[in-house]
Structure 1
Amino acid sequence: MRQAKEPASAGAVLGWLVLAALAPGAAHLRAGWRKTGLVLLSCYIVGLLALLALALTTDNLLGSLTENSWLTSIMVGTGVLGVAWFALIVHSFVVLRPGRLPQSGQILSGTLAGLLAVVVVFPFGWVTQAVWTSRQTLNDIFQETPSDAPSDGAAAAEKPEDPWTGRQRVNILLLGGDGDDDRIGIRTDSMNLASVDVKTGNTVLFSLPRNLEDVRFRPGTPMAQRFPTGFRLPPDPGGGRSDLLNSVWEYADSHPEIFGGKQHQGAKVLMDTIGYTLGVKVDWYALVNIWGFARIIDAIGGITITVEQDVVFGKYNEGLVKAGTRKLKGADAMWYARSRTYSDDYTRMHRQRCVLGALLDQADPATVLSRFNRIALATKELIKTDIPRGMLKNLVPLSLKVKNAKVTSVQFVPPLISTGYPDWEKIREIAGKALRDSARADSPVAASASPSSSPSASASPSPKKSAAAKKTGQNPAKGLMEGCGGPL
């Protein structure tokens, strides 16, 4: 027969219930249920130690949390634990025998015990809902078994011990466009290639202007056969041009006959074209609807930027982002980055770089966690990507390296590069030097390595510098936030 130790008051009952919520079995021990209490407490301690061991022994834990199997297990596990914790509070209340309290104490302790039982379920419910949202978002954006994943990426997925198959850098094309499901082709008004060192996370962000003319295509490709001397079309009826770099995707999608009738070749063509232009191999791309990007900024609560001078926008110049250091909401941040009123493409590219830098700097883990659901839902505005679902487990830890690594930026704009008459050899030389300098930043071994040791060097130029490159006399690579907040 159990010798129950009765709590002296409703406050004591509630105190033991709170302790039981933090250390299961405590209330049972207090009530004389010794064996049950010890079993509950032992299971709790063993569970905590098991979770600690899992965290310490699992390689790439954060990356593994992107896999469906892990996410499903977490959802089921947290759901079961939530129900168990609810039942624990209820049973703990029963064994404490509140029936021996005065009537007023019974009512008070019963009411508060019920509230506590509901409250302890909330964390488990939040985790379950967040994991479900994450799982759905990842499944909506990334393909589980993409038919056109890069061969080296597929090999990497099969070799977790070396996910990058010996390569030094991963190159991802980041695009901002105006595409949608109800239109053919996409105009990519923002084109940035992020080249990431897989060991250090050091990143070079290459920004290419939308109005780059006479774009050259890799020799032997269908586009090169159609345009052997560069991408050139007759002027549009209104005098505009549809043969600039930002039109390559749209043109390729609109002319499947060039590719033997194959549809939707725009992404491949643009990736290959930009890779050939810079002398690298582009692994994957991510295309973001520009206003979807604004929703991501809103989801993290805005970004703080120093606006160098008033930025006017709108059809009738009715909008204004005032000069000064301020926190911008998504819409204002996008107008700051995109407006060409009283400005030009190159100033706009500078502002876009500052927005990217501010977002990278201010999207800290605490902010992401506290606003997780909003960020996940906003990320669904990512229209297209060919990053394989299986590669996420490797890209997640790489992105954490980038957060704390050296990020530099190269913008191919005048006077560095003439957009009307581009010096293609100079562009490749500048890109090659920026990549070598990025590798040199932390590792003396990487400093002696040539980009030719990577698959990305298939179009690398000769190391011999051109006369035009010598004349510049300065390094065009800058810190990502360098010049942001200063004079343009």
Structure 2
Amino acid sequence: MQTRPRDEGRHRSPFAAAFLSFLFPGLGQAYVGLYARGLAFAAPLVLVLALLAGLLANPASRLSLIAALSSPTTLLVVLGLDIILLLYRVIAVVDAFRVADAARSFAEAGTTRLGRPRVHSHPLAIAGLVAVLLVTSLGHVAAARYDLIAYDLVTGISDGGGNEPTDAPSGGASAPTGSTDASPGTEPTAAVTGTPWTGTERLNILFIGADRRPEEATFNTDTLIVASIDPVTKQVAMLSLPRDTTGVPLPRAWRAASYYRGGVYPDKINGLWTRAKGLPSLFPGNDRQRGYLALKGALGELYQLDVQFYVEVDFDGFKKVVDTLGGLTIDVQMPVSDDHYPIEESRAYNLYIPPGFSRMDGEQALAYARARHKSSDFDRAQRQQRVIVSLRQQVDPASLLQPGRLEALVAALKQAVHTDVPPELFPQLITLARSVDASRIRSLVFTPPYYQVECLSCYSLTPKVDVIRRAVRNAFKTDRALEASRTKIGEEGAVVWVLNGSGKAGQAAATADYLGYLGIGATVPTANGGRADRLTYAQTLVTVYNGAEARLPETIGVLEQTLGVTVALKVDPAVKADIVVITGAATPILAVPD
């Protein structure tokens, strides 16, 4: 390596040399004329930049590289590399200053003098060197700061215990209801160990929307959406269960399954977290895990899925996240109206969100997702899923570089989001999420009449477990046209009776079952044993009563197409159903597919 500068380097400015090596290591040495020395300093960084350029040029490797930054191990490695790079650049800057200053000293002392001349650096040059080193350090300190912010986020939201509220009720103040089979005892139930996700089988993540109200000592999981992802086909099914669902089956291995009558949780599913937390003798896990394990296990049993992870979003924290991101633009499909939407301190206001594209802040986005008066559970679940998809699509990483925004977002996320996903899996899940085609996301909302039976007097829902499980099994091969039709029929909410007019045993019940498969909430009345006024009907007769045809176009169209008839219209205030179907001898045999 060159140790003596060339003649043209003897009058070079030491500060300029230091500044050039600040811009790129080795430039200052080349500026002085020590080209081999400059190449030696530049080569390592050139090789690293060439490798990065090659990785970033490929979309797949670029995504993997960016996703890797969500791993705590990767972030610590990056922090170490940042420190090494800082030391490397400091050495390059100081060396460039030194050799330029030495060249100047040789020039001032003359070339005939033997030995190395003593270097006397000018005070201004020293001040310039200090300034360059300070700027160099500040850049790496800033990079280290962002690295530590990211590390704080990925380790802060994944703690395996969830966002446990300090004022949440214990759930154990009163004994659980609905059991005569066993005693809960006092011995804690052993924690269950889930099957590790290998990255090739179906991934199921439970998204929980939690409403914490310390002043009311409540912790309700009002939003329960299981995202089921096929990592091979990149298809996603969003499975939503209304919060008022009762009778959800529990895993048979749990003591709770033998304690509660029929092995089902008798109360509303949104209270299971609280109940399970206070009953270590019936539900597995420690105090921090138990509520989440109960929800994952119960929904996993209902859907016959292995729910590997949960992601909990606190409603108050959600508002801060949306506000920090600058709001969300949501395509409001149907107007949202709630004349008693609750806000803090037990107050309420009249909420109305018109249809069309709407830019919402955190408060508005939360109200859009949660409003339930004057709308169905189906519509509410659809809105919640739309908010999740909008967040995924609209986050702009570049906007987070604005001063203060990243720190605010991290603080909001740490308050809003908790999960049991191991941080080392974050890169894999982010890569999978980015590869999903949003247009192929399928939505299943398990609402009555097809998926559940509704009790209007007690406002609770009882799931049709077999129907729900069949829908989940077929989630990735669902007929989209059928699902769209079911959605419209569910929104119309027709009351349909099926009467046996042929005398064939079980004909009315079989017809009602098939209409239920199509999404029509058909029932066989118990009066007169479900028989029509006579048992000699040859053809199917469908009658629409009291002007209901104006609001039931989809239901009527499906009935006409399925049964091969044209509906008749009639006015009779004594008939409480919207539509009455009377089967006949020629009514087709209809069977629900497996």
Alignment of structure 1 residues 112-123 onto 2, 5 Å: 117-123=133-139
Counterparts in 2 of 1:402 and 1:109: CA distance versus 1, 3 Å: farther
In 1: Cα distance, 2:8 partner to 2:215 partner: 71
Counterparts in 2 of 1:262 and 1:34: CA distance versus 1, 3 Å: closer
Q: What is the TM-score of this pair, normalised by structure 2?
A: 0.60
Per-residue deviation, 1:65: 3.9
Asked if the contact 2:337/2:352 (under 8 Å) is kept, the reply is yes
In 2: Cα distance, 1:53 partner to 1:193 partner: 38
1:454 corresponds in structure 2 to none
1:452 corresponds in structure 2 to none
Match of 2:329 among 295, 298, 304: 304
Alignment of structure 1 residues 448-467 onto 2, 5 Å: 467=514
Structure with the bigger RCO (C-alpha within 8 Å, sep 6+) is: 1
1:25-48 deviation per Cα after TM superposition (whole angstroms, max 9, x unaligned): 122212223333222122322333
Asked if the contact 2:21/2:96 (under 8 Å) is kept, the reply is yes
**2:64 is the alignment partner of 1:31:** no
Match of 1:336 among 368, 375, 381: 368
1:145-190 deviation per Cα after TM superposition (whole angstroms, max 9, x unaligned): 999684431xx5xxxxxx23x52x1111110113599999842111
Which residue identity lines up with residue 192 of structure 1 in the other structure?
Answer: I
Match of 2:246 among 213, 216, 220: 213
Identity rate of aligned residues, in percent? 23
1:43 corresponds in structure 2 to 44
Counterparts in 2 of 1:141 and 1:352: CA distance versus 1, 3 Å: same
Counterparts in 2 of 1:213 and 1:69: CA distance versus 1, 3 Å: closer
1:405-426 deviation per Cα after TM superposition (whole angstroms, max 9, x unaligned): 7222111224443443432222
Per-residue deviation, 1:209: 0.5
Counterparts in 2 of 1:368 and 1:191: CA distance versus 1, 3 Å: farther
Counterparts in 2 of 1:326 and 1:111: CA distance versus 1, 3 Å: farther
In 2: Cα distance, 1:95 partner to 1:261 partner: 66
Match of 2:140 among 124, 136, 139: 124
* Consecutive unaligned residues in structure 2, runs of 5 or more: 106-121, 163-189, 455-460, 480-511, 521-553, 555-594
Per-residue deviation, 1:335: 2.1
In 2: Cα distance, 1:261 partner to 1:5 partner: 75
**2:146 is the alignment partner of 1:140:** no
Asked if the contact 1:145/1:389 (under 8 Å) is kept, the reply is no
**2:411 is the alignment partner of 1:377:** yes
**2:220 is the alignment partner of 1:177:** no
2:443 corresponds in structure 1 to 409
Match of 1:267 among 292, 297, 304: 292
Per-residue deviation, 1:203: 0.8
Match of 1:80 among 78, 84, 98: 84
In 1: Cα distance, 2:301 partner to 2:329 partner: 36
2:318 corresponds in structure 1 to 293
Asked if the contact 1:184/1:254 (under 8 Å) is kept, the reply is no
Which residue identity lines up with residue 227 of structure 1 in the other structure?
Answer: Y
2:528 corresponds in structure 1 to none
Which residue identity lines up with residue 473 of structure 2 in the other structure?
Answer: G
In 1: Cα distance, 2:125 partner to 2:392 partner: 49
* Consecutive unaligned residues in structure 1, runs of 5 or more: 101-105, 157-162, 234-242, 439-464, 475-488
Counterparts in 2 of 1:170 and 1:150: CA distance versus 1, 3 Å: farther
Which residue identity lines up with residue 79 of structure 1 in the other structure?
Answer: I
1:350 corresponds in structure 2 to 382
In 1: Cα distance, 2:422 partner to 2:296 partner: 16
**2:505 is the alignment partner of 1:472:** no
In 2: Cα distance, 1:319 partner to 1:115 partner: 60
In 2: Cα distance, 1:310 partner to 1:93 partner: 68
